[in-house]
Amino acid sequence: MKIRQNDKILFIGDSITDAGRDRSNKMNLGQGYPLLVAAELQAFFPEKKLTFYNTGISGDRLIDLKNRWEKDCLDINPDVVSLLIGINDTSHQISKSEETDLKEIEKFEEDYRFLLKSLSQRTDARVVLMEPFVLPYPKERMNWRRELDPRIQIVRKVARDYQTDLIPLDGLFNSAGISDGYSYYTGDDGVHPTVAGHGLIKKAWLECLKE
């Protein structure tokens, strides 16, 4: 992916993207990877006059994001859209103490495809899709794999079908966690990135620009 002159770059997703942003201001980037990406791009490409938006909302599932897609994505008319969603769908299903529901998985794919289809119909945006992820720490997070893995496969399939950039965060976080310790990247819950975790996402995001 290439960054172009005057690009409007939008980050959208759940709490990992939200990262404590001021939700009254879509140009407030929070304290996570969107801020880190924007800082580096603005430092290296001041001549491109880039504009950044963050419309991540903590706690969002895919259906929540779909319901606000018009207002928080399409109405911005972005040139680049970075999307990370799915871990709250996983935790919600786990909290119900039920086995994987095929209909829930099919609905996840249907809604995820809706986002990409509507985006392609309304804009010429370049897209970066990121896998939702979880680390096996604490050990109870291992139980989340049965719900998360099918959703990761859907993100991969949609990325292939729409020819988007794909950042394999689940593999990246787990590989880094094996080397450096899981809590180094997600603290005590295996989901929410530490500063190092946000740095890992930033690094992977910027590597999309080198291809």
pTM over 0.85: yes
Per-residue pLDDT reduced to its tens digit, 64-85: 999 999 999 999 999 999 999 9
Instruction: Determine, yes or no, domain membership for 1.
Output: no
Query: 101: pLDDT confidence band, cut at 50, 70 and 90?
Result: confident
Instruction: Determine, yes or no, domain membership for 3.
Output: no
Q: Which domain holds residue 157?
A: 8-210
Supply the residues annotated as catalytic.
Answer: 15, 189, 192
Here the CATH number for the domain that contains residue 84 is 3.40.50.1110
Per-residue pLDDT reduced to its tens digit, 15-36: 999 999 999 999 999 999 999 9
Structure tokens at 136: 């096996």
What was the pLDDT predicted at 187? 96
Q: How many domains, in total, are found in the chain?
A: 1
Segment 53-67 mean pLDDT: 99
Instruction: Determine, yes or no, domain membership for 114.
Output: yes
